[in-house]
Structure 1
Amino acid sequence: MKFKNQEYEELVRDLINDAFYIESRSNRGKISTIRQCAEVVIRKLLNSHNNNKITLGDFDVIRDLEAASSNNKLLIKSVRKLQKLGNKCTHTQTPQPITDENVNDAVNALLNLYASLFVLYFKKFKFGSNSEVLSAFSILPPIIRYIVLEELYKDDRSNISIIDKLSLVLLKAFDKDSAMKWIEKRKDELSNILPYTQEAIAKIESIYGKSHAAAVIANAPESMYTLCLERLEQVSLVIDERGLLYNSFEQAKTLYLEKGILPADSQEYRDFNDIMEFVYLGRKAEHNEKLDSQHLYTIIN
């Protein structure tokens, strides 16, 4: 039997509440609960039914994760990190204080697990091949998108959609300097990549004709390096003026419910909806005035 989001909805709601929404919770308690959250995410990654026992340090679990993720180092390292922190907070041989830094480490490792769900999805369905999926993907916290895109880029350095979105999400998750450094470090490589694919041009030609396709090529930036710089300046100006629309699951949840659920008419869409539903389980929708007053300008970026 397969993992079903609905079977874990109540549990995840309790875990997310105890880990993130109770201000008086101790750091030790937060990490213990984050470890439990991680076990549920691992069940999701392995498509494991609740009859199967899942613990972070189990050899078979690690082996299965390595196989499912093609031995993704970030995923396995994050599981090990959560196991170590969880043990520290669960067993009584560690009486030393648990710090805020320990909690941040646990949260970051959990985010890596969430991101791994999307990494596996985009290994199956190529990133950038579906514009509707890309738009829905953008309704995730920037840090999640950054982790996903950074992992995808390691394996596909010529994918122009990954390059474009990664350079922009660096701006949103961190700052303009981080994005600029990433682009400049890869100047030579990006300068040799065209900002369009032959498949895209062929599609334009088949729909609109050769002259239109030729005009698209003539008016396109010289390379992905040029495109990234132009896009970075454009989006940076908008963010400077209006700020980010959302920076967390809570700030984005209302938008996800309104705009992020795709029609379930293909396996690609059904799989994506399933992951999005899971990562938003238990998250409280935070009122976001920016969504009331702005024109959703970052959805396509």
Structure 2
Amino acid sequence: MTNFNDNEYASLIGNLLHDTKYLEISNMGKLAGLRKHAEVMVRKNLNIGSNTKIMLGQVRSYSKNLAVNSKMKKMGTELSSRLIEIVNRINPLGIAGTHTQHTEEFSDEEVEGVEDALLDLYALIFISHFLHFKISIYSPPQVLHEFSILPPIIRYKTWSYLFEKDKKNIQVVNKLCLSIIKTFNKDTAYKWLDHNSEEIKAIPYPTNDEITKYIQTGGVEVDTGLYQVSLDFCKYDNMYDLLYDKIKDPRTSVNESGKMYKSFEEAIKHYNAYKGINISNNSEEVVIFHSLMDFVYLGRKSKEEL
């Protein structure tokens, strides 16, 4: 069994995106293409190459497909359960879209539901990555910046899952708050902060030594000994106040409700521009993350090209 090869699937992904997003086709045709795209994303999540047969219906607990079963065990119970739940939202409509028994047109809402589930498969790639390379305030700034050049909904889905896993993780709480602003709006972010106020106020605040380490590892040196950071710990003594002011800050209004970019097609020009910047950190974590970002942009056209 070979591993998933991004280059091998580049053309197929490009064709699927062309047919389901960039052409005006029937909802039935879209669902058939989305199901095929979902199958590719399952292969990516399970790291299964083209020499092994996979069908979405085989993504289940104790699958009879030995390759799927083996990879899902390796993925772990929680993530494999998440994968099964997502596939179950896609497969029934996807199958119906390919069979002649269903003669009526599918609704826009049905298509949108499958499209949303497909985005969950994209988010699952990053959830797996951030669980393996545990996200923290010391995570490489290149990774955090690159991740911000994704549709806000992907980031929201990712951070929401990780928040439920660990509500004391400062970086996860910070990034989830920002993703809520960018996916929805600031009013929603204030409501989320208020709803989770007790847990957020209880998050252990970094010590002076931890703050110094964060500034040196996560900050950008703008002058000798002067660093610019995303989290200005020195001004606060708890995460609730820090996040409240971050929501209020005019700088977080720049992409509120996706003003700058909501979709891959709107974000890709920003990602291509960022890729041209020389990145000195070539650690395993950064290299793997960069490859994931390249993968999710495979076959995408910019809004200007459409």
| TM-score normalized with structure 2 length | 0.83
Q: Which runs of 5+ in 2 are unaligned?
A: 218-225
SS at match of 2:9: helix
2:35 paired with 1:18: no
Q: Deviations over 1:161-188 (max 9, x none)?
A: 1101101111110122221111101111
Paired residue for 1:71?
78
Unaligned 5+ segments in structure 1 are 289-301
Q: How does 1:62-101 map to 2 (within 5 A)?
A: 63=69, 64-65=71-72, 67-72=74-79, 73-101=81-109
One-letter code of the match for 1:11?
Answer: L
Q: What SS is found at the alignment partner of 1:21?
A: coil
In percent, how many aligned pairs have the same letter? 36
Shift of 1:123: 0.8
Q: Secondary structure at the match of 2:236?
A: coil
Deviations 1:28-68 (A, max 9, x none): 10011011111111111111111111110013376444641
The TM-score, its normalising length taken from structure 1, stands at: 0.84
AA partner of residue 295 (structure 2)? F
Matches within 5 A, 1:113-132: 113-128=121-136, 129-132=139-142
Q: 1:171 aligns with which of 163, 181, 198?
A: 181
Amino acid at match of 1:115: A
Q: Do the aligned partners of residues 133 and 144 (structure 1) sit closer, same or farther apart at CA in structure 2, a change above 3 Å counting?
A: same
1:62 and 1:76 in contact (8 A); partners too: no
Partner of 2:51: 51
Partner of 2:157: 147
Offset of residue 132 of structure 1: 1.2
Q: Aligned AA for 1:186?
A: N
Residue range with higher mean Cα deviation, 179-188 or 104-113? 179-188
Mapped pair 1:32 → 2:32? yes
- How far residue 108 of structure 1 moved from its aligned partner, in angstroms, is 0.2
Q: Among 248, 259, 271, which residue is 2:288 paired with? A: 271
Q: CA RMSD in A?
A: 2.8
Contact 2:182 2:256 in 1 (8 A): no
1:249 — aligned with what?
264
Asked whether 1:184 is paired with 2:201, we answer: no
Contact kept? 2:19, 2:33, Cα under 8 Å: yes
CA distance in 2, matches of 1:47, 1:243: 31
- SS of the equivalent of 1:13 reads helix
Give the CA deviation at 1:245: 1.7
Change (3 A) 1:278 1:177: same
